[in-house]
Structure 1
Amino acid sequence: MTSLLIILGIVVIVGIFLGSVFNRFAKNRNFVNDGWSNIDVALKRRYDLIPNLVETVKGYAKHEKSTLEAVINARNAAMQVPKGDINSQIKAENQLQQSLRSIFALGEAYPDLKANANYLDLQSKLNEIEENLERSRRYYNGTVRENNTYGESFPGVLFAGMFKYQHFDFFEADQASRQNVKVDFS
Structure 2
Amino acid sequence: MFKEMKLLKPSWITALLVIVLSLLSIQNYRVLPAKEDIIFAAIHWHGPVLLTQTLLLCLIAWQVVSFRKIRFLVAIRGKDEVIQKNLLKLMTMEVIGYFILFDGSYLLTGHPIFSKGPVIIGILMLVLRMVLVWFLGLLLITTYTAPYPGLILLGVLVVNLFYHYVIEMNFLLIQYSQTYDPLWKAFNLNR
Smaller-chain TM-score bracket: 0.3 to 0.5
Tell me the TM-score normalized by structure 1: 0.33
Structure of higher CA gyration radius: 1
